[in-house]
Structure 1
Amino acid sequence: MNTITDKRIVSDIDPFSEEFRADPFRYYAQLRALGPIVWLEKYNIWVVQHYAQVRAVLTDWKRFSNAGGGGLTNYFTDKNWRQPSIILEVDPPAHDRTRKVLMRLFTPGALQKMRTEFTGVAQNLVDNAIERGRIEAVSELVSPFPMKVFPDAVGMPPLDRDMMLVYGGMVFGAFGPRTPWYDQLLSRADEVGAWIDAHCERTALTPDGLGAAIYAAADTGEITHAEAKLLVRSFLSAGVDTTIDSIGLCLRALAEHPEQWALLRADPSLARAAFEEATRYDSSSQSLFRTTTEAFEFEGQKLDKHQKILVLIGSAGRDPLAWDEPDKFDITRRITQQIGYGAGIHACVAQMMARLEGEVFFRALAEKVNRLETDGPSTLRLHPGLRGLTSLPIALDGKH
């Protein structure tokens, strides 16, 4: 039920429910119809769902802070289970110093080296999938790609990396309310935290990876060595799960839209555009939070200090005020106002890598695969956190 009380637009929609997560887009339309900012009475939080307001909140870090945490928990008033990220959960001036170190990693030379290495991995995975013909794509094709190339680029030696996914679930699961599922994950916090901590040590990383470059910044005094370790940790947590889910959702969109797959198959140079459109159309990062730093009026509503603002990135990507035919998946769409990676100073720091991984993956797929179609229903993850698939059966065969 949606009502208007004392000029405050109120909704009982629960953005963390399984019903919402199973089909968020119809709820997004309902929220957009209510106005630019809505009060969600179940959690006593504000929500913005139009492109204009989403961008306005994300680019105004002085009033909408990241330091309050990217999830429902309010770091200004409640303690979190882990130390806040020194890149994702801080604001300037501290944020400027650490982000500068990470942004310097992505030189043209470094990205070209990654492209070459990523391409070899993607081609091998696609070849193996073609040999099998019918696969469960999430576990057999999608997940192995970022789980291999991203930690390799950071400098993590080959080992069992599944613990990274458990850690990612703990990080991104914190975006929503506490649930039995999340409490069960947190029961492993000490074990998982110790594993991550050990593998972010300088001695655990290869000397030629991105992790070593972060520690090199500590050698010159730009950051401390303790901060270097925390940056490696944040980098690893932010760069695997999001890309797995993004690639999986893009693959499903292509398999479900044969006319779009035909376009990509005929012109593999559209791979980057296809991944970009999928990020708008069905982003792995559907939402995040900001926290007000003071009391002020926004879009006609009085916001109090330290209130949580739910920012619906996924809704902004389907806003008809910002996009023509927003519910249409069109890989030829020219996207000049992407919101899927966030916006402003806290936009995804590893988005260049994510885009490169997506481009390389789908180019390899388009160059080698002829038939691509679903081979049964896909399954969505319904827990709070990132949007992603737990299974995607597909059938494919190679070009002759």
Structure 2
Amino acid sequence: MSAIHTNPRPVSALDPFSAEFRADPFAAYAELRATGPIVWLEQYGIWVVQHHAQVKDVLTDWRRFSNAGGGGLTNYFKEPNWRQPSIILEVDPPEHERTRKVMMRVINANAIKSLRGGFETVARRLVDAALAQGEIEAVSQLVQPFPLTVFPDAVGMPPLDREIMLVYGGMVFGAFGPRTAWYDQLMERAEEVSAWIDAHCARAALTDDGLGAGIYAAADAGEITHDEARLLVRSFLSAGVDTTIDSIGLALRALAQHPEQWALLRADPTLARNAFEEATRYDSSSQSLFRTTTESFEFAGQTLARHEKVLVLIGSAGRDPAVWDEPDRFDIRRRLTHQVGYGTGIHGCVAQMMARLEGEVFFRALAERVGTLTCTGPSQLRLVPGLRGLSSLPLALAA
């Protein structure tokens, strides 16, 4: 039954999954913010929120805006998922509390601190290799190898060819949008890729001293089952590799395109963490996510029906002039007190402190070693549904 709206319903014909929108989402965000606090996207029959205030309200109200309906366009309350739902990302309390408690204990401050030295070693090696070459395709030669090395290493995955993890990430995050020919072709490998991921998330495939072992220790203690431990390791890997790769790539492009900001970082490498934080606000891999309503209720002047999809544009919230001064300006010295780039509330990114550490270590190593950073050609964005990221970034680096 359709909802009865007491106020005129703001409507937009914009398609947030189109190549045109994805090529320049920021102009579309401004148009949506001018349309209203919540807007009906007629092409998909979904709501969208784009102001910082409403984005935060939705993300912090899990009782009315559920994660269990799925993080993408497909409504899990009405349609099945192609894979078993994540037992931490696609559930709500009380089940969510049980699994998140395990994850947060495993990824504690001491664990993150202990990873820094290994992360720094890998970052320096990759930056030195890029410097020695001089001109590189930065996505494949510098950006991707860093998270693909340090994050699975931290989880306890032994050294092996991990490129298939990027295929799996495409399947997971590509499902956030509508079905396309690109996605159908990708899903032809679903059985093979899912089997590889499951096999490498099993306890026997992991080292005894990684974060994955900590998750399995919780299973030994009876806090979760061993099958749930495998699923948590899977969720950890799927959420912690692709997002960080794309965020680092977009941040690297922003620094190369803003030489005055690169000069600031070069002069003071301790700004690396804030530079990555600002890049997450300015142009992050995670531009949007979904929630699904659990009941009919009034929100921002509109009546939302039960089990309606709500698209949450966290990328637009990061450019909201009601919160940020000169929001379209990239400023690595900006004071960031309203960040929602990692989400917020009980479903905020569970591995965000590790992502922040990776970004800080990567850009500090870069600033300490590289004098000039120059784009030698146009970068290429991926224009298919899913995470926002670069498929190529030609760069010249010199000491």
The two structures have a TM-score, normalised by structure 2, of 0.98
Three-state SS of the structure 1 residue aligned to 2:371 is strand
Aligned to 2:316: 315
Q: Partner of 1:388 in structure 2?
A: 389
Provide the C-alpha distance between the structure 2 equivalents of 1:266 and 1:106, rounded to a whole number of angstroms: 32
Amino acid at match of 1:253: A
Q: How far 1:188 moved relative to its partner? A: 1.0
What is the identity, as a one-letter code, of the residue corresponding to 1:201? A
Structure 2 CA distance for aligned equivalents of residues 110 and 117 of structure 1: 12
Residue matched to 1:291: 292
The aligned counterpart of 1:372 is 373
Alignment match, 2:47: 46
Q: 1:349-386: CA deviations, max 9, x gaps? A: 00000000000000000000001111110000001000
Instruction: Output one character per residue of 1:106-139: Cα deviation in whole Å (capped at 9) or x when no partner.
Output: 2333222210000000000000010011100000
- Return the letter of the residue paired with 1:39: W
Partners of 2:123 and 2:146 within 8 A in 1: yes
- Point out where structure 2 has 5 or more consecutive residues left out of the alignment: none
Secondary structure of residue in 2 paired with 1:289: strand
Q: Deviations over 1:160-205 (max 9, x none)?
A: 1011100000000000000001111111111111100100100000
What residue identity is the alignment partner of 1:211? G
1:7 alignment partner AA: P
Is the 2:136–2:396 Cα contact (8 Å) retained in structure 1? yes
Distance in 2, Cα, partners of 1:162 & 1:133: 24
Q: Find the counterpart in structure 1 of residue 133 from structure 2.
A: 132
Q: Where does residue 219 of structure 1 map in the other structure?
A: 220
Match of 2:192, as an amino acid?
A: E
User: Which residue does the alignment assign to 1:198?
Assistant: 199
Deviation (angstroms), 1:5: 11
Aligned residues: 395
**Does 1:346 find its partner at 2:347?**
yes
2:103 maps to which residue?
Answer: 102
The residue aligned with 1:188 is: 189
CA distance in 1, matches of 2:280, 2:117: 23
Paired letter, 1:333: R
Which residue in the other structure is 1:23 paired with?
Answer: 24
Q: 1:33-72 alignment to 2 at 5 Å?
A: 33-72=34-73
TM-score (norm: length of structure 1): 0.98
- Pick which of 15-24 and 110-119 moved more: 110-119
Q: Which aligned segments of 4 or more residues in structure 1 are displaced greater than 3 angstroms?
A: none
Matched residue type, 2:102: V
Name the counterpart of 2:152.
151
Letter in 2 for 1:80: N
Partner of 1:281: 282
Q: Distance in 2 between matches of 1:339 and 1:313?
A: 7
CA shift for structure 1 position 6 = 6.0
In the alignment, the residues of structure 2 paired with residue 111 and residue 201 of structure 1 have an alpha-carbon distance, to the nearest angstrom, of 22
Q: Is the 8 A contact 2:7 2:301 kept in 1?
A: no
Q: Aligned partner of 1:248: which letter?
A: G
Q: 181-190 or 63-72: which moved more?
A: 181-190
Identity %: 76
Distance 1:84 1:130 in 2: 42
Cα distance in 1 for partners of 2:110, 2:359 equals: 19
**Cα distance in 1, alignment partners of residues 131 and 29 from structure 2:** 37
Cα separation, 1, equivalents of 2:111 and 2:57: 33
Question: Helix, strand or coil: the match of 1:188?
Answer: helix
Whole-Å Cα distance in 1 between the matches of residues 12 and 268 of structure 2?
45
Q: Does 1:242 align with 2:243?
A: yes
Task: Give the letter aligned to residue 321 of structure 1.
Answer: A
> C-alpha offsets along residues 67-92 of structure 1, whole Å, 9 cap, x if unaligned?
00000000000001001000000000
> Equivalences for 1:252-267 in 2 at 5 Å?
252-267=253-268
**Gap change, CA 1:397 and 1:10, over 3 Å in 2:** same
Residue-by-residue CA offset, 1:326-362 (whole Å, 9 max, x unaligned): 0000000010111100010000000000000000000
The 1-side partners of 2:201 and 2:96 are apart by: 20
What's the RMSD between the two structures over aligned residues? 1.0
Cα distance in 2 between the residues matched to 1:133 and 1:145: 18
Q: Match for 1:74: what amino acid?
A: N
Structure 2 counterpart of 1:177 = 178
